[in-house]
Structure 1
Amino acid sequence: MVGEAMIGITALKSAFDLTKGLKDVDDRVRLNDARMELQQKILDAQEAQSALLEKLGNLEKELALLKSWEADKQRYALTDMGSGVLAYKVKEGHENGEPSHSLCSSCYNDSHKSILVSATWNPGRCHVLVCNDCGWYGYISGMAHAEHKDLRPKPFRGR
């Protein structure tokens, strides 16, 4: 009977040790799951930080361009080019080594520097100012003709 009791106690101790071992295994699985989840969160945070740093860099570049444009646009004045066509013409003394030129008022208002090109459209030998960036054109002299539709510029900037 004592032997059977000892066998019973030994079996009970073995079951207790097994249960404790199972608990340790469960704790290790949970610990590994927690580690994997933490690593994933760290990776997600690093990706978000990288995206924010890239966005910050792009915004800094855009701000520098806007500041540069603000300084450059002070060189121009809105001018009547003839027949009520308005453009921004470089102010006298502000050429900075560039030939005298005019900018498209539409592009100028979109913070984009686009130099107007002078053209003669036939029939009618019309003098026209053309913006090849946005597709704007204005008659300085002469009148529109149906055949001019083939001469109109195709917008470069996709307007």
Structure 2
Amino acid sequence: MPVMESLSIALSTIGAASQFAKGIMDTKVDAAVAEKVMELRNLVADAQTQLLAAQSEQSGVLAKLEALEKENARLKAWGVEKERYALVSLAEGTHVHRLKVSAQNGEPIHDLCPKCYADSEKGMLTYAGLKDGHKHFVCSRCKQSYLGQYVAACADIDYQPRGRMRGF
């Protein structure tokens, strides 16, 4: 029998006992019985409070368990996904994770942000033009900027892509 169902039955039984004790109290048999009935009602009330607290605690534990199971599944999926990437150098001192040719599965080759990759997230780098003569890339997730290889022929131009021109 599930624990939640057991707790519900226990609460129902305690409620019935409380009503029974109230019925005895209403008969006003004598002072000694009335005193014992009050003690019984207090014990029942305490038991109800403890059961409600236990039920609440169990609900919290179940919610935490569910969250941990989801996180575990996400990390397992990421473990499989990250094996599809290899660490490569964009330029001296700039390393990113690039999709392996053998793991393409119809996807184009792309690079992932090393910061997002370390956080078990998938932030793709997009080309943002030239910056100080270097190819410039920006993470689509965290917006971190990365400089790629130096393009000597364009070192004095700071090109920023503007979108598609009409007629082309």
Tell me whether the two structures share a fold, i.e. TM-score over 0.5.
yes
Report how far residue 125 of structure 1 moved: 6.2
Distance, in Å, in 1 between the alignment partners of 2:106 and 2:74 is: 21
Pick from 121, 129, 135: which aligns with 1:112?
121
Name which of 126, 139, 142 aligns with 1:134.
Answer: 142
1:85 is aligned to: 94
Aligned residues: 124
Instruction: Tell me the equivalent position of 1:72.
Output: 81
Shift of 1:82: 2.3
What letter corresponds to residue 129 of structure 2 in structure 1?
T
Which digits, 9 at most, give the CA deviation of each residue in 1:89-109, with x for residues without a partner?
A: 011110122111000001101
What's the counterpart of residue 56 of structure 2? Answer: 47
Query: Is residue 121–residue 127 contact of structure 1 (8 Å, CA) maintained in 2?
Result: yes
Q: Which has the larger radius of gyration?
A: 1
How far apart are 1:31 and its partner, in Å? 0.6
Query: Which 4+ stretches in 1 moved above 3 angstroms?
Result: none
Indicate if the aligned counterparts of 1:87 and 1:104 stay in contact, CA closer than 8 A. Answer: yes
CA distance in structure 2 between the partners assigned to 1:74 and 1:137 by the alignment: 24
Distance in 2 separating the partners of 1:97 and 1:39: 60
Question: Deviation per CA, 1:42-95, whole angstroms, max 9, x where unpaired?
Answer: 111111111111111110010000000001100101100124321000111101
Q: 1:37 aligns with which of 46, 52, 65?
A: 46
TM normalised by structure 1 equals 0.71
**What one-letter code is carried by the residue in structure 2 that aligns with 1:134?**
C
Query: Structure 2-normalised TM-score?
Result: 0.67
* Structure 1: runs of 5 or more not aligned: 1-19, 143-147, 152-159
Q: Quick one: distance in 2 between partners of 1:132 and 1:99?
A: 16
Distance 1:60 1:51 in 2: 14
| Pairwise CA distance, 1:138 | 1.3
Question: Helix, strand or coil for the counterpart of 2:142?
Answer: coil
User: 66, 81, 99: which is aligned to 2:108?
Assistant: 99
CA RMSD in angstroms comes to 2.1
Q: Secondary structure at the match of 2:96?
A: strand
Q: Does 1:58 align with 2:74?
A: no
CA contact (8 A) 2:87 2:96 kept: yes
Quick one: distance in 2 between partners of 1:38 and 1:99?
64
Give the Cα separation in 2 of the matches to 1:46 and 1:97.
50
